[in-house]
């Protein structure tokens, strides 16, 4: 390694390799040429991620003719329909994030105390991946098959138990139904996000706590709880944005009206544009960006703190 006489052949790709490609000092900054190779990546993201975001942002404060205006943003604060949609979206996201974090956290604990390479864990991780990230429309159908008017559970209560419980399936199509279905995909997401943090709790800490006479309660109160608190809070925020941004499940389940903000935006996209309101959809989208960015910034800050223990 030291003073190696082997100089790499520069011929093969001299443009990319730069002047001093001895490799050993490759971590040093060596001219702008190295950055050129990153152009395709940045160009692609610029075109398909940054540009759409800019179109939304600029469109939110311009008229159809291109002049500056605040008329698109105003309805977000004055129009009862939009205010209501934002409020309901936030309520839904908060409720399902908390429910998902609590149940998902418990489930993660139950899984993590088992064999790390065991079947249970592998099955749970794979199933969680499917349910948390793949669901959308299909999960709405799953709940229709279970709790819909001809669903398994509905018919079971009606025909077998003869109990007048859950027999009116219309609850599924309301905000309550949405909350139940959302919680369904929040739990597995919590498992995916929280499992690595629980893995970070070392066996030695349990043992140290136990050998000092600590029981389960004092372990969680003084050791596990404080260590996991940032991860848990971070996961909670991630679950919030997940529910807040969700569209597919709600679109598949709710066919009348647009009670939440993502459905409102969808309706704006699909309906005929009212003159002078062409850009209201963009303003609503901007409102979503603002809320999600705030939450994700808090998430990033918390995550930095959480990673102290997790690694």
Partner 1 sequence: MSWSQGSSGAAPSENALLQRPKGSGRARRRLRGQLTARIVILVLIFGYLMLPLFAMLEFSTRGDYGSRNLNSYAAIFSNANLVDGITTSLEIAALTVGGMLLLLVPTMVWTVVRVPRMRRVVEFLCLLPLAIPAIVIVVGIGPVYRWMGQHLGAAGGSPLTLTFIDIILVLPYSYRAIDSGIRSIDVSTLTDAARSLGASWPRTIFQVIVPNIRGGILSASVLAIALVLGEYTISSLLSFNTLQVVIYLLGKRDPFVSVAVAFAALVFAFILLYVISHFAPGAGQGTQRAPEEEPAR
Which of the stretches 62-70, 166-174, 192-200, 227-235 binds partner 1 when contact is defined by CB under 8 A?
192-200
Q: Hey, which residues between 37 and 66 contact partner 1 (CB under 8 A)? A: 37-38, 40-42, 44-45, 47-49, 51-56, 59
Cβ neighbourhood burial of 193 (10 Å; 0-12, 13-18, 19+): buried
Please name which of 271, 191, 287, 260 lies closest in space to residue 231, comparing C-alpha atoms: 191
Decide: helix, strand or coil at residue 129.
helix
- Measure the CA–CA gap between 296 and 236, rounded to whole angstroms: 11
Q: Which two tokens stand for residue 217?
A: 């309660």
**Closest approach of partner 1 to the CB of residue 173, in Å:** 13
Using the rule CB under 8 A, which residue among 216, 229, 273, 301 binds partner 1?
A: 216
Q: Which two tokens stand for residue 290?
A: 């603002």
**Closest approach of partner 1 to the CB of residue 7, in Å:** 8
Task: Count Cβ atoms below 10 Å from residue 98 Cβ, excluding itself.
Answer: 15
Cβ neighbourhood burial of 62 (10 Å; 0-12, 13-18, 19+): middle
Question: Cα dihedral angle (177, 180, 181, 182), rounded to 10 degrees?
Answer: 120
**Closest approach of partner 1 to the CB of residue 152, in Å:** 4
| 20 touches partner 1 by CB under 8 A | no
**Closest approach of partner 1 to the CB of residue 78, in Å:** 21
**Closest approach of partner 1 to the CB of residue 20, in Å:** 12
| 199 touches partner 1 by CB under 8 A | yes
| 30 touches partner 1 by CB under 8 A | yes
Please name which of 97, 106, 41 lies closest in space to residue 299, comparing C-alpha atoms: 97
* Residue nearer to partner 1 on the CB measure, 71 or 206: 206
| 98 touches partner 1 by CB under 8 A | no
* Residue nearer to partner 1 on the CB measure, 17 or 90: 17
Q: Hey, which residues between 219 and 278 contact partner 1 (CB under 8 A)? A: 241, 244-245, 247-248, 251-252, 262, 265-266, 269-270
| 161 touches partner 1 by CB under 8 A | no
- The answer to whether 219 and 209 are in contact (CB under 8 A) is yes
């Amino acid at each position: 390694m030291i003073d190696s006489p082997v100089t790499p052949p520069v011929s093969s790709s001299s443009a990319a390799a730069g002047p001093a490609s001895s490799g050993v000092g490759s971590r040093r900054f060596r001219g702008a040429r190295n950055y050129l190779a990153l152009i395709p990546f940045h160009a692609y993201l610029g075109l398909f991620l940054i540009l759409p975001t800019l179109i939304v942002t600029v469109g939110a404060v311009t008229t159809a003719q291109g002049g500056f205006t605040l008329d698109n943003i105003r309805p977000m604060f004055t129009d009862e329909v939009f205010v209501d949609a934002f409020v309901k979206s936030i309520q839904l996201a908060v409720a399902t994030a908390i429910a998902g974090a609590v149940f998902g956290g418990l489930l993660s604990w139950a899984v993590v105390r088992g064999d790390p390479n065991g079947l249970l864990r592998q099955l749970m991780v794979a199933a969680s991946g499917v349910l948390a990230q793949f669901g959308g429309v299909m999960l709405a159908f799953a709940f229709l098959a279970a709790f819909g008017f001809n669903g398994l559970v509905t018919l079971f209560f009606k025909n077998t138990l003869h109990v007048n419980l859950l027999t009116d399936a219309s609850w599924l199509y309301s905000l309550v139904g949405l909350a139940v279905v959302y919680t369904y995909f929040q739990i597995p997401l919590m498992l995916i996000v929280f499992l690595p943090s629980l893995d970070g709790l070392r066996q030695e800490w349990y043992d140290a706590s136990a050998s000092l006479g600590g029981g389960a309660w004092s372990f969680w109160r003084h050791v596990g709880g404080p260590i996991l608190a940032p991860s848990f809070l971070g996961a909670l925020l991630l679950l919030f944005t997940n529910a807040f941004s969700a569209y597919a499940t709600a679109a598949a389940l709710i066919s009348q009206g647009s009670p939440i903000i993502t459905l409102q935006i969808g309706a704006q996209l699909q309906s005929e544009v009212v003159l002078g309101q062409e850009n209201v959809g963009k303003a609503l989208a901007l409102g979503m960006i603002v809320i999600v960015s705030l939450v994700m910034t808090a998430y990033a800050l918390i995550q930095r703190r959480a990673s102290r223990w997790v690694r």
